[in-house]
Structure 1
Amino acid sequence: MANDTKVTARIDPTLKSEAEALLDDMGLNFSVWITMATKALVNERKIPFEVKASPFYSDENTKILEDRLKKYTAGSSTSNHGLLEDK
């Protein structure tokens, strides 16, 4: 380990605590998890998990927003502002 490189990252404290608790349940720590994820990245030559946009950018939600914009510009706005991620 004398030849290891130190990596520094900023992360929300609550998110870090939740992740540490999960990793602890698995018998791991952040350092081991980062090494595992990095090895998977290098070996697979891709991010080792699915990366996708939030529900806010889904086709269904975009249609809802476009419909609301049409109503708003026509002068008939609605008071319901919930989006799909609110459901």
Structure 2
Amino acid sequence: MTTISAKIDNTDKNLFETICTSMGINISAAINAFVKATIRENGLPFAMKATDDPYIYSEENMKILRKSINQIENGSGQVHELKEIPQ
């Protein structure tokens, strides 16, 4: 592991931290996700957005997402249709 240091506006840092917290992650996890996705996509990969839906970032759902990410990174993932979450 290594440390990356970046200078950003204090207001931006606080807003970013608030958004990360609302998604159930910390700044380090968000940056690591961005770095991994950038490497995988060989370019800027996606936009992460906060949500008011607590189900999306529930511990149960995050466990499923982590397992799926691990499978894809290990080459054993399968493409499938996503099911709509009932409202």
Calculate the TM-score normalised by the size of structure 1.
Answer: 0.51
| Pairing 1:8–2:16 present | no
Counterparts of 1:26 and 1:49, CA distance in 2: 15
C-alpha RMSD of matched pairs (Å) = 1.3
Would you tell me which structure has more helix in proportion to its own residues?
A: 1
Q: 1:36-58, CA deviations, whole angstroms, 9 ceiling, x for partnerless residues?
A: 000001001011248xxxxxxxx
How many residues get paired?
47
The DSSP-based 3-state class of the residue aligned with 1:22 is helix
The CA deviation at 1:12 is 0.2
Calculate the TM-score normalised by the size of structure 2.
Answer: 0.51
Residue 47 (structure 1) aligned to one of 44, 47, 72: 44
Structure 1 residue runs of 5 or longer lacking an equivalent are: 51-87
Q: 1:20-67, CA deviations, whole angstroms, 9 ceiling, x for partnerless residues?
A: 0010011111100110000001001011248xxxxxxxxxxxxxxxxx
Counterparts of 1:24 and 1:42, CA distance in 2: 24
Counterparts of 2:19 and 2:37, CA distance in 1: 19
Counterpart of 2:21 in structure 1 is: 24
Counterparts of 2:46 and 2:37, CA distance in 1: 10
The CA deviation at 1:6 is 0.6
Counterparts of 2:16 and 2:24, CA distance in 1: 12
